[in-house]
Amino acid sequence: MAQRRTNVFTFGGKGIVLMRRCLTLLLILLVAACCRESTGRGMVDKPLLKSIQVLAAYPHDPDAFTQGLLLHKGLLYESTGLYGASELRKIETQTGVVLQRRILPSEYFGEGLAIADHRLVQLTWREETAFIYDADSLEPLGRFTYEGEGWGLCCDGEFFYRSDGSDRLFIHDPHTFDVLDVRRVTCEGEPVEGLNELECVGASIYANIYTTNH
């Protein structure tokens, strides 16, 4: 089976890297600030291109095909992709040393990662399954199911937000993962296709646009 994500932004050679609050390595387009949803919320006249200041750089496994990344209590949590190589990792931030890992079955392609109520939720690409783990031990706690593909995932403390590579953002219940709403993202009246990695920061959602530097 062909595996995607071969021409995305890289950190240490592989994968998407957008980290909430402190480690952002590339220029990104703040979708929540520069675009508008079809409901009209957050409507602005023109998109605003914002630059990001690099605060620090840390070592990273060049063979990790990064699909989800977050910082929690000073540690990095990473979801890696590819069939037969997908994992959930807990990493020492300053050294890049993997402290713990949870290997996914070979039929799953790891994707976006988010945390809520001290539980990690890891999406899969086409398998319509999200794995739930304890954030400290990485012990499995259960699974969610959903329809469609899983790409990016973030949580604002109230809801999960999921992308599937289209212009849609799916809003999920944090306890059941039921879809509560679907929002379409536009910019200057046009759909923003390729919504990929997501980061919830305050009242905004940062989104990478797949295969671009936005």
Is residue 24 one of the residues assigned to a domain?
no
Grouping H, G, I as helix, E, B as strand and the rest as coil, residue 179 is: strand
Rounded Cα distance between 29 and 62, Å, is 25
Is residue 11 one of the residues assigned to a domain?
no
pLDDT of residue 47: 73
pLDDT of residue 42: 52
Rounded Cα distance between 187 and 47, Å, is 7
Is residue 146 one of the residues assigned to a domain?
yes
Domain count of the fold of the chain: 1
pLDDT of residue 62: 93
Average pLDDT by stretches of 10, the chain with 214 residues: 42 34 34 44 65 91 95 96 98 96 98 96 98 97 98 97 98 97 93 96 92 86
Contacts of 87 (CB under 8 A, 6+ apart): 64, 78, 79, 80, 101, 102, 103, 104, 110
Buried b (16+ CB within 10 A) or exposed e, 178-213: eeeeebebbbeeeebebbbbbbbeeeebbbbbbeee
CB atoms within 10 A of CB 96: 14
Is residue 194 one of the residues assigned to a domain?
yes
Rounded Cα distance between 81 and 194, Å, is 18
Beta carbons of 157 and 182 less than 8 angstroms apart? no
Q: Which domain holds residue 124?
A: 31-209
pLDDT of residue 99: 98
Is residue 74 one of the residues assigned to a domain?
yes
pTM recorded for the entire structure: 0.80
pLDDT of residue 49: 79
192 backbone φψ class: left, alpha, beta (φ>0; ψ -120 to 50) = beta
Is residue 25 one of the residues assigned to a domain?
no
What CATH number is given to the structural domain containing 113?
Answer: 2.120.10.30
Is residue 26 one of the residues assigned to a domain?
no
Grouping H, G, I as helix, E, B as strand and the rest as coil, residue 59 is: coil
Is residue 22 one of the residues assigned to a domain?
no
pLDDT of residue 188: 86
